[in-house]
Structures are given as C-alpha cells and as structure tokens.
Structure 1
C-alpha cells in the first residue's frame, strides 16, 4: 500500500491536489481527478482511517443491532441474508460493520452507550424486541437509525411487503378452490405479523369467506414444535381446513411432520404454504409453495438509506421503503 505522497509523486501533482481529487472537490479538473483516482486504484492507495475520520468527523463505522429472540443467531436464514445484503452495500460505500451489544468487556452498558463507545455513525436495527427500554433509548437518541421490518416514527424503515405477500399467496390458494384456509401466524407483538394477519382477514372479507376464529392460531416464528402443536389442533377438528398457511418455511416443517405422522399426503389430502422462500423450502418433497422475500434488496436499501441519513441529514427524508417478494408456486398446494 502506497502513501498519499507517493501517489502524488506518481501522478506528478501536489499532495493537496491528490486530496482534492479523492474527496471530489470541484476546484480541480475532471481529467486530473480521473487520472488520480485511476492511479490510486491501480497502485492500491487507501486513505488512513484515522486521518479520514479526523477530517470528516465520521468514523465510517455502522452499528448492527441484531438480537434474535429465537436464539438462532446468524443461522437465522432470513435476517442473515438481509444483513449480508446490508454489509455488501455498506462496504461498497466505504463503511465497516460493528455488532452492538449490551456489554463492554465485563461492564454492562446500554445499546446507546455501546454505540457511543464504538463511535458508530449510525445503526441498523433488526430482529429485536422494540418494547425493550434500551431499544427505545437508542431510537430516541441522536444517532441515525434505520429499522428492518419495523415501523417507528423517529426513523426510516425498510420492510418486506408482507401485506402483498399474504394477498398473493391467498389469491393463488383461493384460485385452487380452497375455501377452508387456516393460518398459523407468528407473534402478534411484531409489525410483520400484524401486517400479514390484516391482509389475511381483508382477503377473507373481500371474498366473503367464512373462516372460524379457531382456524387462526399463534405460534412463534421458526418454532417447529409450536407449529406442530397448532397443526395437531387443526387436524383434530371435525371440520379440518383444506389448506394451512405457516409463519415461515422452517416452522412449517413441524406441521409437515404432524401431517405425515397421520399418514396424510401433501397436497393430495391437505395443502400447505410457507413464507420466506428459504433454501430448504425448495428442497422439501413436495417443493413448497411460499413467498420468497428479496433479502438482498432489503439489506441493500437499508444500507443506502442509513448512509444517506448519515451523509446528508438535511436532505434525506424519513420514509418507509417497501420491498416486494415473489410467489414460488412449488407443489404443496393442490386443488381443493
């Protein structure tokens, strides 16, 4: 790696000119800028992080607050893929990633205090309990924040189009002749569940369907055991559903196990549908009908929005960015 002085000597210009070119200042010509930037890339010049921070008053470090209640950590396929998309875009724009927690060494601190300790320029928050006082403190603070799959008044959010996803899934299932559709949904405390459930009930109302309240059961996301127990309740009914929607593709496996334990076939005896479009959904037999969420786009949009808020706070709107998913037809929904 070469120094700025060596880069200036190579280009036959002053150190000040190199600095202006690399910082896109307008008082030097475009041809000179291009020449210097090309040389910098070719020769492997990288500005010193500490010097850059002093000059711009930014750390070029973004915090990631990710607290998975299901304890699956970064094996949580959906959020891991979202964070990968976020990381790729952030690094492309010259930012590093730091995971935020509630401890510095052995000392217990709040999330906000940890952000201050790490001197992050902004934070993306995903998969947390937004009623947690520490999360509320962080959202109310002066650090730029973008949330994923949660709407908050103080900051921008990036969300998968959960309402549209359920509507698309229901339209397909309805088109296959199903009128007795049950929905095992995730935790009611999440904005994701509320959006999906509202969309489910709206579809029922619009199509004048009569669905018993007992067809709608709560089970935690990613919880195979709870999904299996909910499936058992539905199949034990005198009037079982002809199709069951699950909170996600992983939880669905618990339901599928319960169905097969009764020697029932999918989709001949009962149809099922998932959500997320995980890798495993397309490896199951039969292939799962599900909604694939565009995780890369969600992560990318979150990074762009957060960096825009950090770099141009006066001209960046607080907004909700909605990212559409895609219906994967699969083979798990048959004709009713």
Structure 2
C-alpha cells in the first residue's frame, strides 16, 4: 500500500505538502497540487476515506435510521430505501445503516456523531422516538419518512386524503358497510389515515366499522388476518374492507377465503402501497399507490440540499397518491 511518505519522496516535497495537496487545501499552488496528484496516480495511491473525513469533516456518508423490529421488514420502506440507495450512491456517497439493535435507549445522535455521517434518513421511529427526536433537533441534516409530533423535515404520502380516496372508491362501487383495517394509533401517519376514513364515513352518514382499541404497529399480513377476524366477530361480514397496507389487505383476504367468502364477489378489499406482490397475488390487489421511487429520490435530494445550502429545517413534502384498479374490488349488486 502506497503511503504519502513515498509520494513525498518521489515528488520531492514534504509529507505535509502531499497531505494538503490531496485534501484540497487552497494554500497549495495548482502546479504543486497537480505534480503531487500525478505522482500519486503513477504510484497507485488510494486515499484513506476515514482519514480524509477527519481532515475535511465530511465523510460522504448518509445514515439510515431504522428499528430492527419494524424497519426493513416493512416492504414499503424497503422499496423506498432501494430508490434512495441508488440515487445516493450515484452521487458518490456511501450509506451507513443505524439500528437500535436490542437497546431500548439507543442513542442515535451519539452513534451518528461517532461515525461522522453527513446526514440521516429516518425510516421509522415508534420504539426509539425520544432518541430520534434528539437526532432531529440536532445540527445534523435529517429527513424523516415517519413524522410524529412535527412534520418538518418530513417526506410522506398524503395519508388523510388517500384514505378518503380509497373509501370513496368503495362507496362509488355501491358499498355502504365499509370496514377499516387500521394501522398504528401512535404515529402521525396512522392517525391521519383513521381521520380520513372517519371523515368520509361521517360525511356520507355511514356507521364506521373499525376497532377503536386495537392498534396495529407493523402493517403485516398477520395483523391484517387478525384484525379481519376481530371485525368479523364483532360486526359480521362487511360489504368492503379498506386497509392501510397491501400486506394487511392480503391477510384480510386470506381470512375471508378461509371462512368461505370470495373476494371480490362477496367482499371487496382495497390495499395501500402498491407493492410488486399486488400483481402476483390472487386476486390481484386493487390498491392506493404510493410513489416510493419518488419518495426515495426526494429524500436523498432533500438531504443533499440541506448539506449544500447549510440549512437544517425544511417544510414538509407531501406526495400525492393514486388508485390502481385490479381485481379485488367489484361493483355491488343488490
């Protein structure tokens, strides 16, 4: 491995001059800088990224904060992360994953500072919220996909109007007994989706069908199955089911199928996310599409903007959604 001492000897300059030349110090003339660069290239020198980050106070690394329990198991977050990763790496940056592991009081800020990351994308916050809040309030550039008490520095889909949109779609198909499979009641997104459902049902004079004391934290197939079971046991068979994730919709469909009901002939079901699996499940799932590619790229762009302009607060960026019609919903015939 070539050292800066060997470069200095070959170039006929001091070690200090080589170090300053390679790290872009303005006090070094362009002629000397180019001479050092040429010698370094000829010798096959590879700079030490960690050492450079200490000198420049810039690691060209973005952190991604997630929780082991929920973060990367969420297929929507995984799809957003893939778009984020491609864009970030195209700009020459690396990604450092930061999880709470098994520590309930994991200090994200301290960990980010020790790794010298330039900015952070926060994917989920439920279990380590206090630590994440500390991170958001710091001098680091931070963007979150899962806002809680503040939506500043956040990128997220318009959950409130998206659920109104999906509930209206079921209503326009003639359904009136529309059940709702909810998400988390503890975070902003889950609360907004419930508000959207309740608003539409009240507007149309319909009785809401949902579990007031049952919060789903992980948006999984299993939670969809169990929530559909509880809805059926408490309210009977609905005309239609509005859900807050594709996996939960598939869980609901599985429960209905296992109990002798056909989707969509007996019950219409609509999902939320538009994951790739919507096109290969049976029936293919009608759903609300979140533009995860756009969210991932916008998150990266926002972090780069914060770093370039040295700003640490941005207005919330809200992404619109659309309904993708497939085979799990059907017009109701009396």
Whether TM-score is above 0.5 comes out as yes
Q: What is the correspondence of 1:166-315 to structure 2 with a 5 Å cutoff?
A: 166-206=163-203, 208-212=204-208, 214=210, 218-236=215-233, 240-314=237-311
Question: C-alpha deviations, 1:178-200, integer Å up to 9, x for none?
Answer: 11111011110121111111111
Aligned length: 302
Asked if the contact 2:285–2:328 (Cα under 8 Å) also holds between the matched residues in 1, the reply is yes
1:11 maps to what in 2?
Answer: none
Measure the CA separation in 1 of the matches of 2:261 and 2:67. 38
Asked if the contact 2:185–2:215 (Cα under 8 Å) also holds between the matched residues in 1, the reply is yes
1:122 maps to what in 2?
Answer: 119
Asked if the contact 2:61–2:95 (Cα under 8 Å) also holds between the matched residues in 1, the reply is yes
Change (3 A) 1:215 1:137: closer
Change (3 A) 1:46 1:297: farther
Asked if the contact 1:147–1:156 (Cα under 8 Å) also holds between the matched residues in 2, the reply is yes
- Structure 1 runs not aligned, ≥5 long: 6-14, 29-44
1:131 Cα deviation after fit: 5.8
Change (3 A) 1:157 1:47: farther
Question: C-alpha deviations, 1:125-166, integer Å up to 9, x for none?
Answer: 111227633222222222221111315549511101212321
- Output the TM-score relative to the length of structure 2: 0.77
For the pair 1:318 / 2:314, whether they are aligned, the reply is yes
Measure the CA separation in 2 of the matches of 1:61 and 1:245. 40
Runs of 4+ in 1 over 6 A off after TM superposition: 45-48
Question: C-alpha deviations, 1:186-232, integer Å up to 9, x for none?
Answer: 110121111111111222233x2221455766434333333223222
Q: What is the correspondence of 1:84-95 to structure 2 with a 5 Å cutoff?
A: 84-95=82-93
Measure the CA separation in 2 of the matches of 1:144 and 1:156. 9
Measure the CA separation in 2 of the matches of 1:60 and 1:54. 11
- Output the TM-score relative to the length of structure 1: 0.77
1:167 Cα deviation after fit: 2.1
Measure the CA separation in 2 of the matches of 1:109 and 1:238. 42
Measure the CA separation in 2 of the matches of 1:204 and 1:69. 33
RMSD: 3.6
